[in-house]
Amino acid sequence: MLDLKTKSEYERRIKGVLITEEEIAREVKRAGAEIDKIYDGRPILLVSILKGSFVFLADICRAVSVPSEVAFMCAKSYYEGTVSSGVVKITMDLDMDISGYHVVIIEDIVDTGRTLSDIIRILSARNPLSMHVVTLLDKPSRRLVDFKADISLFTIPDRFVIGYGLDCGEYYRNLPYIAEYEE
Give backbone dihedrals phi and psi of 124, rounded to 5 degrees, phi first.
Answer: -60, -35
Q: Is 68 in the site for ligand 5GP (CB under 6 A)?
A: no
Q: What is the DSSP letter of 171?
A: B
Residue 47 or 166: the one with the smaller Cβ distance to ligand 5GP is 166
Contact 114, 77 (CB under 8 A): yes
* 123 three-class SS: helix
Helix (H) or strand (E) holding 83: strand 83-92
Cβ 176 to ligand 5GP shortest distance, Å: 15
- Binding-site size for ligand 5GP (CB under 6 A) equals 18
Q: Is 160 in the site for ligand 5GP (CB under 6 A)?
A: yes
Per the rule left: phi > 0, alpha: psi between -120 and 50, beta: everything else, 126 is: alpha
Footprint of ligand 5GP on 78-117 (CB under 6 A): 84, 88, 108-115
Cβ 40 to ligand 5GP shortest distance, Å: 29
- State the Cα–Cα distance between residues 102 and 132, nearest whole angstrom: 8
The neighbouring-strand residues paired with 138 are 110, 155
User: Catalytic: 97?
Assistant: no
Q: Is 166 in the site for ligand 5GP (CB under 6 A)?
A: yes
Residue 24 or 166: the one with the smaller Cβ distance to ligand 5GP is 166
Residue 59 or 108: the one with the smaller Cβ distance to ligand 5GP is 108
Among residues 111, 138, 158, 167, which one is catalytic? Answer: 111
- State the Cα–Cα distance between residues 160 and 82, nearest whole angstrom: 7
Per the rule left: phi > 0, alpha: psi between -120 and 50, beta: everything else, 86 is: left
Cβ 88 to ligand 5GP shortest distance, Å: 6
List of residues contacting ligand 5GP (CB under 6 A)? 52, 77, 84, 88, 108-115, 160-162, 166-168
Catalytic residues: 111
